[in-house]
Structure formats: C-alpha cells, structure tokens
Amino acid sequence: MTKRDLVVSIAEDSDLTQEQVLDVVQKTLDCISEAVARGETVELRNFGVFEVKIRKARIGRNPNEPERDVPIPPRSVVKFKPGKQMRDAVIQLSPAAPKKKP
C-alpha cells in the first residue's frame, strides 16, 4: 500500500476530498518524522511505537577484502514496534508468499 492508496481509501470512506485527506495524512507523517528526528518516542495506540535507538560502534568486514577491518561508528536508527492488534493480525497470516499489489 502506498500513501496514494491510503489517501484514496480514506477519501472513499469519508466525506473529504482526496486533497484534504492528503493534507491530513502528510501533516501526520511530518509530525511523526519531526518528533522521531528530535529523539522522541511516538506511540500510536493499537498501531505501534516509533523510537530512536543507538547502535553501538562495531567492526565490519569488506567481503572483497576480508583481511581489512572497517570501523563502523555508532549511529541512531529508527525502530518500530507494532502494537498488539497489529501483531495479532500479522500472526494470523499464512506463511505462504506475501500478497502483492494487483
């Protein structure tokens, strides 16, 4: 599902135009992005939690030159932890190939 698919779906289920829905969806995503960029945790009940985690520094290996160590510095990454409802819905999926957009 793309942002466009989401906008069309919400517009069909509501009395809002696609343009109005796009503005709301974009502002929502912008607010989430800005909060996470400030290092805040964003918790959306029944959906999930976005949080910033710090990865430790480590030593990597170049497969083309395995004898040479490559230092990888510590860095911040965004982690998403799905909420209980989403986790339960995903568990119900069959382990067969994921469904693709038609």
pLDDT in tens, 69-86: 889 999 999 999 999 999
Look at residue 3 and tell me whether its pLDDT is greater than 90.
yes
Mean pLDDT of the chain: 91
Instruction: Break the chain down into helix, strand, coil percent, rounded to 5.
Output: 40, 30, 30
What is d(CA 49, CA 78) in angstroms, rounded to the nearest whole number?
Answer: 10
Look at residue 52 and tell me whether its pLDDT is greater than 80.
yes
Give the chain's end-to-end CA distance (angstroms, integer).
11
Look at residue 102 and tell me whether its pLDDT is greater than 60.
no
What share of the chain in percent tops pLDDT 90?
A: 74
Full-model pTM: 0.75
CB 48 within 8 A of CB 82: yes
What is d(CA 72, CA 80) in angstroms, rounded to the nearest whole number?
Answer: 23
How confident is the model over 37-48, as a mean pLDDT? Answer: 94
